[in-house]
Amino acid sequence: MQTASVSELKTHVSEYMGRVRAGEELLLTDRGRSFAKIVPLRRDELPANERMDQLERVGLIRLGKGLMPLELLSTRIKVQPGASALAALLAERAEDER
């Protein structure tokens, strides 16, 4: 764990924040006495919109641009008993492409 005084932190704030972003913890001291610790947020602590932005930046998801049509929520896919949901989705996609 890195240790920094308040004056060091003020002088090199960008450097220390970069280290925290990279996963390091930072112990702050004032006149030689520790008083605070800066730790990076865990992924599960990030607000949902920030996490979604991160996923989009690395190409794992693509965020929509508009509002979802409300009628989409009421659409039901008909699946025969014992049939695969995947098969039903693929069949529906094939119908839409015709």
CATH number, position 21: 3.40.1620.10
Residue with tokens 């996609």: 93
Which pLDDT value is given to residue 3?
94
46 in Cβ contact with 55 (< 8 Å): no
Domain that holds residue 31: 2-57
* 69 in Cβ contact with 61 (< 8 Å): no
Q: Which residues pair with 36 in a beta bridge?
A: 28
Query: What pLDDT does residue 58 have?
Result: 93
**Per the domain annotation, does 70 fall within a domain?**
no
Tally of domains within the chain:
1
| In a domain? residue 52 | yes
**d(C-alpha 54, C-alpha 61), whole Å:** 9
Angstrom distance (rounded) from CA 15 to CA 38: 13
- State which residues of the chain have pLDDT below 70: 77-79
The pLDDT value recorded for residue 18 is 93
Instruction: Kindly state whether residue 72 falls inside one of the protein's structural domains.
Output: no
Q: For residues 2 and 24, is the Cβ–Cβ distance under 8 A?
A: yes
pTM score:
0.49
